[in-house]
Structure 1
Amino acid sequence: MRKRFSGSLLRSSLLSCLLVIAGSAWLSGCSTVEGAGKDLQKAGEAISGAARNASS
């Protein structure tokens, strides 16, 4: 009976660790995508500015 409890505890600990790792990866991915979006927005603004200057 003790071995069964130990296996259940191990499985629960492993699942908790995997959830923490997956959550961390998901949160860091959100930050990365947000930063990439801001970079693309700035690049688009620079291109628009260059196009305005070229047409003037």
Structure 2
Amino acid sequence: MMTMAKIGSALAILLVLSSCGNTIRGIGRDTANVVNATQDAGRSVGHAATR
């Protein structure tokens, strides 16, 4: 019974760690998208101001 509990705990820890990794990568992608959108908006405003 102890062996099954240890294996279950190890699997639960692996699941939590992989979920955290996916969340961190997702936040990184979202942040990059925000930066790109901000830069595009700045270019659009700059282009409109020069017309």
TM-score under structure 2 length normalisation: 0.70
Residue 32 in structure 1 maps to residue 32 in structure 2: no
- 1:43, CA displacement in angstroms? 0.6
Instruction: Report the AA paired with residue 30 of structure 1.
Output: N
- Aligned position for 1:49: 41
Residue ranges of structure 1 left out of the alignment (5+ in a row): 1-8
Distance between the aligned counterparts of 1:39 and 1:14, measured in 2?
A: 38
Q: Which of residues 14, 38, 42 in structure 2 aligns to 1:22?
A: 14
Higher Cα Rg: structure 1 or 2?
A: 1
The alignment yields a C-alpha RMSD, in angstroms, of: 1.5
Instruction: Report the AA paired with residue 23 of structure 2.
Output: S
Superimposed CA distance per residue, residues 2-49 of structure 1 (whole angstroms, 9 cap, x where no aligned partner): xxxxxxx44322221110100001112222222222111111100101
